[in-house]
Structure 1
Amino acid sequence: MTPVHSTPSDPAAPLPQPRSKTDLFLSFTAMALQGFGGVVAVVQRELVERKRWLTPEQFAEDWAVAQIMPGPNVVNLAMMIGGRAFGLGGALAALAGMLVVPMAIAILVAVLFTGVADSPQAQGALRGMGAVVAGLIAATGLKLLPALRHNVMGWHVCAALAAATFVGVALLRWPLPWVLPGLGLTGFAWAWRQLARAGGKRADAASERQP
């Protein structure tokens, strides 16, 4: 039976979910095979725009959590989605989808690349792919910007934290172990404060409605 996709005109409709562990494995295998160096762009398109397993806001939140966890970001995200759907078995199925076939291909390519690694053509191809990967990551970031409109911290605070992160990492070359605790804890504290204020306002409004 084909799942019913939620649409922007029906935001309250439930999101479709993975049908089985096999669906998870095949879906993440297909995503991994499309993402030559920029798999996050492919995963965002597949999960949010095509399969609609996540809303843009949910993807942004899950991606933020995946980034601060140890290990590859996309693999962390896949395991989170798999675990949410089918528990430990789903997490392992998503992990296998991200790693098994791509790893076999990577080993084969590494063996074949050894003989031509020093050639100018191979070096030029690698530099060209690096530029493409940077463009894919930048495009994914721009597509996620609208999701920040509903962020509890507020658009201006999100923009300020993003700018501070860029300056710290890209311009000042600060190590990530310095940036994540400093700016991450700042954002965490502000979000906690905003959530507490929002909860207090809801409680006040509920008490006013009571006779």
Structure 2
Amino acid sequence: MAEAAPSSTVTPTRADLFFGYAKIGLLGFGGVGAWARRVIVEERRWLTERDYAEVLGIGQVLPGPNVGNAAVMIGRRFHGLAGALLATSGIYIGPFCVLMLLAWAYQTYGQMPAVAPFMQGIAAAAAGMVIGMAAKMTSKLRPPPEMIAVGLAACGAAFWWRLPLPLIVAILAPVSIVLAHRRLPPAVRRAA
């Protein structure tokens, strides 16, 4: 259950949702995860760190792009169906235009030897952004040791054992739910 939003959060207008997500989409070369968190939590203060982590977590276990799924949920939270459509169209409109231009450029110039180092550099930067976002979220949320262990187990399952994501989620989601439930105060556990 998401914690109540503190008074320091801001409710975006419909235009804010569209243009905020348009900014996220246009800044997110190599992945929008790091930019989405920065814009939504730090710059615009629409959600708390915990609320964003929960929405993103749900978005990651659903089919489709993680941040796109989160855009639907965040937009809906603030402005219903219209908000979901505005946030989602905002996040995709800029990248779609850029992608069409880059697809043309890659088709025209992609076989040139000078293009390969450029593509390798972009891939390395994208990986660094994902790792940086994970580290920043972890340091701000301060998860308990058992949740860090679950996260490391998920990384190990994906990296070393090359398990598919649905299998990792199917195995580790129930474990993390049980561990989180055990951390609840006894009165809350009984009521749940």
State whether TM-score is above 0.5.
Answer: yes
Percent identical: 33
CA distance in 2, matches of 1:78, 1:13: 22
Counterpart in the other structure of 1:139: 132
Alpha-carbon distance in structure 2 between the residues aligned to 1:29 and 1:175: 31
**Secondary structure of 1:130 counterpart:** helix
Q: Which residue, out of 99, 102, 106, partners 2:95?
A: 102
Report the equivalent of 1:51: 44
Q: Distance in 2 between matches of 1:178 and 1:200?
A: 28
Picking from 9, 12, 22, the partner of 1:15 is 9
Structure 1 position 139, deviation (Å) = 0.7
Q: Give the distance between the partners of 1:148 and 1:197, measured in 2 at CA.
A: 22
TM-score, length-scaled by structure 2: 0.90
One of 155, 161, 164 as aligned partner of 1:175: 164
CA offset digits 1:68-103 (Å, max 9, x no partner) = 011100101111110000001100011110112321
The letter for the 2-side match of 1:38 is G
Shift of 1:12: 4.4
CA change 1:201–1:103 in 2 (3 A) is: same
TM-score by length of 1: 0.82
Residues 60 and 147 in structure 1, CA contact (< 8 A), matched pair in contact too:
no
Question: How far is the alpha carbon of 1:200 from its aligned partner?
Answer: 4.9
Structure 1 residue 142 displacement after superposition: 0.8
Q: 1:103 to 1:118 in 2, by over 3 A?
A: same
Count of residues in correspondence between the two structures = 187
Q: 1:157 to 1:198 in 2, by over 3 A?
A: farther
8 Å CA contact retained: 2:31, 2:126: yes
Larger Rg belongs to: 1
Q: Say yes or no: does 1:42 pair with 2:35.
A: yes
Partner of 2:77: 84
| Unaligned residue ranges in structure 1 (runs of 5+) | 1-10, 203-211
Aligned to 1:3: none
Residue 175 of structure 2 aligns with which residue? 186
Of the two structures, which has the highest relative contact order with CA contacts closer than 8 Å and spacing of 6 or more?
A: 2
- Equivalent residue letter for 2:10: P
Q: Please tell me the root mean square deviation across aligned C-alpha atoms, in Å.
A: 1.9
Equivalences for residues 114-125 of structure 1 within 5 A: 114-125=107-118
Contact 1:33–1:102 (CA under 8 A) maintained in structure 2: yes
Q: Does structure 2 conserve the Cα–Cα contact (< 8 Å) formed by 1:148 and 1:158?
A: no
8 Å Cα contact 2:181/2:189 also seen in 1? no
CA deviations 1:142-190 (Å, max 9, x no partner) are 11013433x5xxx111111011111110011111121110011211222
Q: 1:156 to 1:119 in 2, by over 3 A?
A: same
In the alignment, what sits opposite 1:207? none
